[in-house]
Chains A and B, each alone.
Chain A
């Protein structure tokens, strides 16, 4: 066991990072889309004609999961776990783990928060369908922070390839 850990610690750390990125950001999105979905279903019960609009709003918190997937995927392919020998040093594994953290953390919390904003915006569309353009902006404001986290994660991971350990 100890030998195995010693030999593969780098890979395990990188894998942990990818797992956190996909898992946490995905959970945030799942909660966000869920909350928004409940609100959307309520609107549809009253007026099925608003389906298109409320569905767009429901989907907005779904992006964090995708950002997490992107980071997870880049990590897996760069560390060689996907289609490679998959043996990297402990230091490098740690670097990848850290690089995954921004999108993991911000992805989770922004997903939940964006879901709430989306649900509220769905309420706007229920009462004033012509205000869809403005209603869409509020959830998008939250998304900015997921995007910033994604950006730092991407930059850190593409930088990690050049870090020598």
Chain B
């Protein structure tokens, strides 16, 4: 089950077939390329004529082009579009694309050029607008701004800082009269003036003006400001017209979108292919490709390459070789594969826990959610997504399936504990129809019998932990560590079972857990359990530190190992969260029902009820589904994995078709 067995594969082929073989292997996507064959005199790695950077640039360009298209014509993407997955295309479509490759590339280049054009023209418009802005104080002037004089006169057109009156300016110019000053406009920042003087007094006027902060305008033009402004406006209009033309052309490429995406994908495929080709040792006429392949795919690979002159050799891995890990599970267990993968892949010698986890996962998930109505909603929601999005990516599909199964489990436990949106049915029928319909839980009411449910939760925990311990035993046996199996596993079973038996024979424990019922295990059997546990502890004190040579050290280590019993206790108690979270869902829904029914049974009451019901239950579903998910994960990661699973395997990374937009149909 579950971890695919890997083999080493070496494919040796003729160089003239190398392109076709590389493509075929890439399409199969089941070989992780590794350098098993060292370079020698004859077989050497050769640099490729095309560098990877070029592909990357093409991909980058294509993505930019799509982004440009998106700014003008956003692709329709619904709320649920992230579930959609990549569109599937066939090999024929892929092969046909070769003819359109150059086309797509030039389209990409054209779109990028156009968008650059648009950006430049927009900058130009901004510049024109700034100039218009600067001209506005001069609008009433009817001569060009750069007019510097006539035959006999000099003219100064410019601005003085701050607000000036005509009198003040004449006063400042008192020494240089005669001058003629016209104030063209003024505000509190500047006063725009035109000053005319005799040509011979130019220098003195100039210095006098400088003295009071005169400055020529920052725009200059050979036309009158009004005419200049008209020109600028026309220029803007022209630019806008041009932008429109560019934009229209960009939008006209909208139907090329799929081609551009294809182009990007094609480049990505080639990039990977060239990266692999570069790493292959080759002689004058032949090349060697080597790597890991899952054993079950070897026949497929052989069939795929049967038309080429190749030799395919496979060999078993060395004893201590760490192969990359690829998990494969039945459709049900695959749904929790993501949970395992996000913890860690199994290391060498560990099993893939997906299958065992899938047995417990949904029980815990359902227990924590434990509401039939909410479970149904989650089931329907996840099922709907799965049905609507056939192309959903594998990882996402598995996670959606996880919630769908979780929804089913929540329905089951909801029925068992009689929770349908908490007490929705009795409170609505009682409030609005005056006749409460009591829905009897199939098993018992969690709120009325918390201790019973708590006991159940702890029993589930004990089963879960015992299973984990058992798997550890299995792994030890597989490693032929019989001593470890006996003293790290069997003895712990004896201690734990012994203590549990002893506990169940004590009146005190029965008072707590079973409401004062008589212990169903007689006291003397309980004592046998206690003695067994005691012997187990002695065994652990002696054997727990067996890797130490020094007996003193060994016994101390053993004593510390016995202390590990507290971790079992805390692990088991940790499962009490099953009860706490199970209660939370129902109680929050009941809060909604109670608040909603406070306003009577009139029309207003019904409206308030519906609003309150929707808001609180929406929050409830969100928080408690999240809670059930993360706490179920925690029980797997901490309590369960803690007993047998460390992980640390390296994921299998095959040489394959890694595309962003399209998925290729396997033939």
Q: What residues of chain A have their CB less than 8 Å away from a CB belonging to chain B?
A: 56, 59-60, 62-63, 66-67, 69-70, 73-74, 77, 82-83, 130, 132-134, 136-137, 140-141, 143-144, 147-148, 150-151, 154-155, 158
- For the complex, what is the distance from the CA of A87 to the CA of B511, rounded to whole Å? 30
4 more CB-based (< 8 A) A-B contacts, given A63-B627, A137-B633: A141-B638, A147-B576, A148-B576, A158-B450
Cα(A143)–Cα(B633), bound, Å = 13
4 closest pairs, A vs B, by CB? A133-B342, A140-B634, A147-B577, A70-B587
Q: Are A133 and B454 in contact (CB under 8 A)?
A: no
Task: Chain A residues near B451: list those with CB within 8 A.
Answer: 155
- Nearest-neighbour CB distance to chain A for B595, whole angstroms, equals 9
The answer to whether A151 touches B579 (Cβ under 8 A) is yes
Option from A66, A137, A151, A155 in Cβ contact (under 8 Å) with B623: A66
What 1/0 flags go to B331-348 for Cβ under 8 Å of A? 000000001011110000
Per DSSP, are chain A's interface residues mostly helix, strand or loop, or mixed? helix
Contact of B633 among A62, A66, A133, A151 (CB under 8 A): A133
B583 to A154, Cβ gap below 8 A? yes
Q: Which of B581-598 contact A (CB under 8 A)?
A: 581, 583-584, 587-588, 590-591, 594, 598
> Is the Cβ of B447 less than 8 Å from the Cβ of A158?
yes
Given the contacts A63-B627, A69-B591, A74-B587, A151 and B342 also touching, CB distance less than 8 Å: no
Q: Is the CB of A147 within 8 A of B581?
A: yes
Q: Which B residues are closer than 8 A to A by beta carbons?
A: 339, 341-344, 447-448, 450-451, 454, 573-574, 576-577, 579-581, 583-584, 587-588, 590-591, 594, 598, 623, 626-627, 630-631, 633-634, 637-638
> Pick the contact of B637 from A63, A77, A137, A154 — CB < 8 Å?
A137
Q: Give the CA-CA distance A73 to B633 in the complex, in Å.
A: 28
A158 to B343, CA, bound (A): 38
Which A residues touch B341, using CB under 8 A? 133
B577 closest partner in A (C-beta) = A147
30 interchain pairs, CB-CB under 8 A: A56-B630, A60-B630, A62-B623, A63-B623, A63-B627, A66-B588, A67-B584, A70-B584, A70-B588, A74-B447, A82-B594, A130-B342, A133-B339, A133-B341, A133-B343, A133-B637, A134-B342, A134-B343, A134-B344, A134-B637, A136-B630, A136-B633, A137-B634, A141-B634, A141-B638, A144-B577, A148-B576, A151-B580, A154-B450, A158-B447
Q: Find chain A residues with CB under 8 A from B587 CB.
A: 70, 73-74
Q: Determine the chain B residues whose CB is within 8 A of the CB of A70 once the complex forms.
A: 583-584, 587-588
Name the B residues within 8 Å of A155 (CB-CB). 450-451, 454
B624 to A, closest residue via Cβ: A66
Beta-carbon nearest neighbor of A143 in chain B:
B631
- Report chain A residues within 8 Å CB of B342: 130, 132-134
Contact B626 A56 (CB under 8 A): yes
Contact A140 B631 (CB under 8 A): yes
Known: A82-B594, A83-B594, A132-B342. A151 touches B630 (CB 8 A): no
A63 neighbours in B (Cβ, 8 Å): 623, 627
**Residue in B574, B623, B630, B633 with the greatest tally of chain A CB atoms within 10 Å:** B630
How far is it, in angstroms, between the C-alpha of A121 and the C-alpha of B573 when the chains are bound? 25
Q: Which residues of A contact B634 (CB under 8 A)?
A: 137, 140-141
CB distance from A12 to the nearest CB of B (A): 21
Chain A min CB distance to B586 (Å): 10
Residue of B nearest to A70 (CB): B587
A77 to B594 alpha-carbon distance, docked (Å): 9
With a cutoff of 8 Å between Cβ atoms, the chain A residues found around residue B594 in the complex are 73, 77, 82-83
Q: What residue of chain A has the Cβ atom nearest to residue B595's Cβ?
A: A82
Give Cα distance in the complex from A150 to B627, angstroms.
14
Q: How far is the CB of A110 from chain B (nearest CB, A)?
A: 13
| B579 surroundings in chain A (CB, below 8 A) | 151, 154
* Chain B residues with CB under 8 A of A133: 339, 341-343, 633, 637
Are B591 and A73 within 8 A (Cβ)? yes
Q: Is the CB of B580 within 8 A of A150?
A: yes
Find the residue from A83, A130, A137 having the highest chain B CB count within 10 A.
Answer: A137
